A and B are shown apart, each in its own frame.
Chain A
Amino acid sequence: MSGLEDTAPPSVPRAAAPPRGRLVRKYALLLITLVGIALLINSVSDFWFSYQENKEALVRVQQEKAAAAAQRIGEFVEEIERQIGWTTHAQWVAAPLDQRRSDYFRLLRQVPAITELSQLDGAGKEQLKVSRLAMDSVGSEEDFSFAPAFTQAKAHGVCFSPVYFRKESEPYMTLAITRAGKNAGVTVAEINLKLIWDVINALKIGQGGYAYVVDEHGRLIAHPDISLVLRDTDLSKLPQVAAALAASQGVQAAPGAATVAKNMAGWSVLTAHAAISPLGWLVFVEVPLAEAFAPLYGAAWRTGSVLILGLVGAGLVALVLARRMTGPIRSLQAGAARIGAGELDRRIEIHTGDELEGLAEQFNHMAADLQKSYAELEQKVEERTAELSEALDQQTATAEVLQVINSSPGDLSPVFDAMLDKALHLCEAAFGILSVYDGEDMHHAVAIRGIPAAVADLMRGSLHLGPETGMGRLVRGERIVHITDAADDEGYRRGNPTRRVLVDFAGTRTYLAVPLRKDNVMLGGFTIYRREVRPFSDKQIALLENFAAQAVIAIENARLLDEIRQRQAELRVTFDNMGDGVAMFDEALRLAAWNRNFQEILDLPDWFFAEPRTYAEYIRYLAEHGEFGGADPEEEIRRYTDNAARHTTVERVRPDGRVLEVRHNPVPGGAFVLIYSDITERKRSEAEIRAARDAAEEASRTIEAAYQELKAAQARLIQAEKMASLGQLTAGIAHEIKNPLNFVNNFAALSVELLDELKETAAPALATLDEDKRAGIDELVGMLTGNLEKIAEHGRRADGIVKSMLEHSRGGSGERRDVDLNGLVEEALNLAYHGARAQDQSFNITLERDLGAALAPIELVPQDVTRVLLNLFGNGFYAATKRQRDGAEPDFRPTLKVTTHDFGEAVEIRVRDNGSGIAAEIKEKLFQPFFTTKPTGEGTGLGLSISYDIVTQQHSGTIEVDSRVGEFTEFTIRLPRTRQATTTGAAA
């Protein structure tokens, strides 16, 4: 609830003016509210209760009035009832007519309401009627037995008929009374109910109050507005009516409480009712609500105005009070604001004698304290500022020195000068020297300030500074040398010349020396001097040490820079003198570095390097100058970017014919290096080497081939020798066997001849012999002959074998020469054919030839190949004719087909017969020596074996057999052409 906006320190300006008067408003509102509420409650409750009371009073009045009216009407009706009643007595009924009539007249007079009286007997017949309005009638015997009045009266003793109207305006009711008794008659009276109307009319309540009567069905019987009655208005729907009816039916004749309801016309009314007991009718007394509560309104107004007046009064009072309450608080607020603004000398004045006053005092104390604190703070701040500015000076000095170091990285003299300047200034020294240590106690000054020229010159030279001097002591490891009074020091007393000079000539008193050390290596020293005896402060010593450290850094930097420069120069020389052209492109693909050879190898002009070049520009330049031949430079660039991260090596021929090797080496980070090497010479040597190697290979191949041939020839030779020796052996054997065989044959043949001669010679002698003996001798001679023939035959066989063997061994005797193969084949075929025909006249076979055209001559041994062909042809003839002989189909024609074909590196000869074919198991043995399928005596079995040897061994060819049993046999010979290229194509 404070009026202060924030709690910020006094120096912070407040954002907005503090809200004014909020407190006052709050209090005022509070008070007003309280008073207002009280008044309100009071008034409202007052009003409410009076309203209720009023209502009740009114209702009571209404109630009474209703009850009174009901009673009157009830009494009226009862009176009539009573009056009539005595006419129902049995005695009266028995009375003579005149009596009765006069009684009736009297009754009529007495009771003006009755307009008609009639007596009905027990059967309902009218006996007597006296009427004010109509004609009297006596003894009419009119039957009213069915009239409701009669029946009801008989049933209940009394009957009140519903109200009806005569003359449109007058309410009537029929009252019928009877006595108990079987035949008791009924007296029926017509009652004029005008009285009720009067009663009702007379009922007056207030201005607009009225009464009305409804019957037991809710129909309006009496109302101030007669027209409503005449219209037979049914009010049973009105809630109050309905409720009253219900109640009355439930409970007899209890006067209902008044309620608020709406009347027929729809106004709100206060309604009360009472029941008219005998009839069951209801009297309603209603007063318009507005009127009913009219008095209340006055009260309300009064209450309201009182309320308002009260509120206003309360408000005023509240304001005043609030103001008075918040006065001190506002003072406090103002006071605090002042304190916040910094006006610490003003005090808050509150003399309310309560807690607020106490609070004000507290504020005042606080202000006083703050004042004091500020004063102290200011003082402290001043002190600090002084210190800080001093430190700042030093830092600035250091920074400036560093800047000097940075701006002249290699040049140390400005650095040292600046440093010395600043040091002297900041340390309040008169003069100073920065010297460099040359080793072995020799120093020379590199910066001097403030010293008389003569001494300065002395210092610049190389001086020996011994152990008593400051520098000497530093060299020996002391951290710093701080001499308060140089004149009063060992060095001086000992008479060190440098010291003496400094003191006597330069007036040195206080002296500070700080070393320049790098990693415990003495580099030099910083010395500053004062002409008065005033020791240097720790801060100043620290400053000087700082400068010393910086000087060391500067020296180190200069040294490093020097090294770098030197290294750089060396690298440059190396780079430039590299044999290859080198170019480096950085991550942005700009040409960053290159050497002279790069420029020369690629013929790049100087102006090309005048501007920064990108890789794309470089490639484009090269392309424009025909470096890539017809290739697309964009393609080249794209190829590069695709392979950017890969080491690639390509070779390229320059327009001038030199061959370049371009190596692309990527560097981490996206840069890459191109290295161009002129490999023209290398290429040439490579080509030469390749040629030499090719020649060597060729030679070796030739040698290899020759070697192979030699080996083959050797094999053949060995084979031939083998065969020769075998041949010789077999020849020898053959020859040796031949001789005895000859004899066998010859002698066998001779013997046969001789036997014949004997038979001839002995014939006459034999003729003389008797049959038996002659037959016997004939037989013997016959057997002898047969035997001898057999011997001859076998001898011939053996001879044949020997001949074949001799032939076999004779292989390889022929010379090789180029032969027209087709011609050879023709010749052999003819030979075979005619030979076969010569042996067997009936021999016949169909010959088919399919000789390849233009079959170039092939080198072979014609006799031996002919032998092979003859062999094959012979076998073919035999097989084909055998099939015919063995009973082939009638239209079977033995056929032999010869085919030759040139396959370039070989020729092929096929011999096909349509004989019975060769079974698989026989095929295997086909080429074995002495294997034959011919019957004994017909073949030696050596033919194919010899052929096989001739083809494979002698001619390095192949011979194969293909056959299908019952269909054909085909031999295929392949003879390779000679290997040596020089002999092919030679004219035969």
Chain B
Amino acid sequence: MSASIVVVDDEPDVAELFRQRFRREARQGTYVMHFAASGEEALQLLSGGIEPGVIVILSDINMPGMDGLQLLGEIKERFPGLPVMMVTAYGDDERRRRAGELGAAEFLTKPVDFDRLKAQLRQLPAATG
């Protein structure tokens, strides 16, 4: 059973990184990676419906335009059951707290520990519509 993971980051190399990191999973079909370069794009993407079902949004915080936390708020509003994990370079307590307040499921600092991430992903409930 495959699920979608949406990665939101304005840095294009992030997409490449995730692709390479999840190449096995991708080959095996565990996950399907979707990439959005901005918060708006991510919302558009979500709104347009993604197949397979999204199990998690991994979003950067510092993005031009709508930043990660704004996006978090939006997603929580529109897609309440959708876990959002913040993946950011800025690991300061303030952002962490805010993220927590806004309902982020996890707060990860870069560089991402992909093994741990993958472990956490496996814990997640199955994708919802």
- Is residue A677 contacting chain B, with contact meaning CB distance below 8 A? no
B28 CB to nearest chain A CB (Å): 14
A743 touches B13 (CB 8 A): yes
- Is residue B26 contacting chain A, with contact meaning CB distance below 8 A? no
B17 touches A743 (CB 8 A): yes
- Is residue A735 contacting chain B, with contact meaning CB distance below 8 A? yes
Given A739-B11, A754-B20, do A746 and B90 touch, yes or no (CB 8 Å)? no
For B93, the chain A residues whose CB sits under 8 A away are 813
Given A739-B11, A739-B110, do A746 and B21 touch, yes or no (CB 8 Å)? yes
- Cβ-Cβ contact count across A and B, 8 Å cutoff: 39
- Which of B14, B21, B89, B92 is packed against the most chain A CB atoms within 10 Å? B89
Q: Which of B95-129 contact A (CB under 8 A)?
A: 110-112
Across the interface, name the chain B residue whose C-beta is closest to A806: B91
Across the interface, name the chain A residue whose C-beta is closest to B19: A750
For A810, the chain B residues whose CB sits under 8 A away are 92
For A739, the chain B residues whose CB sits under 8 A away are 11, 89, 110
For B110, the chain A residues whose CB sits under 8 A away are 738-739, 742
Q: Which of B9-56 contact A (CB under 8 A)?
A: 11, 13-14, 16-17, 20-21
Given A735-B90, A739-B89, do A745 and B111 touch, yes or no (CB 8 Å)? yes
Bound CA span A799–B11, Å: 19
For B89, the chain A residues whose CB sits under 8 A away are 735, 738-739, 742
For B91, the chain A residues whose CB sits under 8 A away are 806
Bound CA span A799–B92, Å: 16
B111 touches A742 (CB 8 A): yes
B13 touches A750 (CB 8 A): no
Bound CA span A741–B110, Å: 10
Bound CA span A741–B92, Å: 18
Across the interface, name the chain B residue whose C-beta is closest to A796: B111
- Is residue A747 contacting chain B, with contact meaning CB distance below 8 A? yes
Bound CA span A207–B11, Å: 203
Given A735-B90, A738-B89, A739-B11, do A799 and B111 touch, yes or no (CB 8 Å)? yes
Hey, what's the 0/1 contact readout for A723-744 against B, CB within 8 Å counting as 1? 0000000010001001101110
Bound CA span A960–B76, Å: 53
Main secondary structure on chain A at its contact with chain B?
helix
A805 CB to nearest chain B CB (Å): 13
For B11, the chain A residues whose CB sits under 8 A away are 739, 743
B6 CB to nearest chain A CB (Å): 19
A371 CB to nearest chain B CB (Å): 159
Hey, what's the 0/1 contact readout for B61-82 against A, CB within 8 Å counting as 1? 0100000000000000000000
Bound CA span A141–B4, Å: 224
Bound CA span A812–B20, Å: 40
Bound CA span A742–B87, Å: 12
Across the interface, name the chain A residue whose C-beta is closest to B18: A746
B5 CB to nearest chain A CB (Å): 16
For A806, the chain B residues whose CB sits under 8 A away are 91
For B17, the chain A residues whose CB sits under 8 A away are 742-743, 746-747, 750
A741 touches B111 (CB 8 A): yes
Across the interface, name the chain B residue whose C-beta is closest to A739: B89
B20 touches A750 (CB 8 A): yes
Given A735-B90, A742-B89, do A747 and B20 touch, yes or no (CB 8 Å)? yes
B92 CB to nearest chain A CB (Å): 8
Q: Which of A697-756 contact B (CB under 8 A)?
A: 731, 735, 738-739, 741-743, 745-747, 750, 754
Q: Which of A794-844 contact B (CB under 8 A)?
A: 799, 806, 810, 813
A140 CB to nearest chain B CB (Å): 202
Q: Which of A54-94 contact B (CB under 8 A)?
A: none
For B14, the chain A residues whose CB sits under 8 A away are 743
For A746, the chain B residues whose CB sits under 8 A away are 17, 20-21, 111-112
Given A735-B89, A738-B89, A739-B89, do A750 and B111 touch, yes or no (CB 8 Å)? no
Across the interface, name the chain A residue whose C-beta is closest to B14: A743
A757 CB to nearest chain B CB (Å): 9
B114 CB to nearest chain A CB (Å): 8
For B20, the chain A residues whose CB sits under 8 A away are 746-747, 750, 754
Bound CA span A754–B17, Å: 12
Bound CA span A739–B111, Å: 8
Across the interface, name the chain B residue whose C-beta is closest to A810: B92
For B13, the chain A residues whose CB sits under 8 A away are 743, 747
Chain A residues with CB under 8 Å of chain B are 731, 735, 738-739, 741-743, 745-747, 750, 754, 799, 806, 810, 813
* Cross-chain pairs A/B with CB under 8 angstroms, 16 sampled: A735-B89, A738-B111, A739-B11, A739-B89, A741-B111, A742-B112, A746-B20, A746-B112, A747-B13, A747-B17, A750-B17, A750-B20, A750-B21, A754-B20, A806-B91, A810-B92
The 8 closest A-B pairs by CB, nearest first: A742-B111, A750-B20, A738-B89, A742-B110, A746-B17, A735-B89, A743-B13, A739-B89
**Given A731-B90, A743-B14, 5 more pairs with CB closer than 8 A:** A739-B89, A746-B17, A746-B20, A747-B13, A747-B16
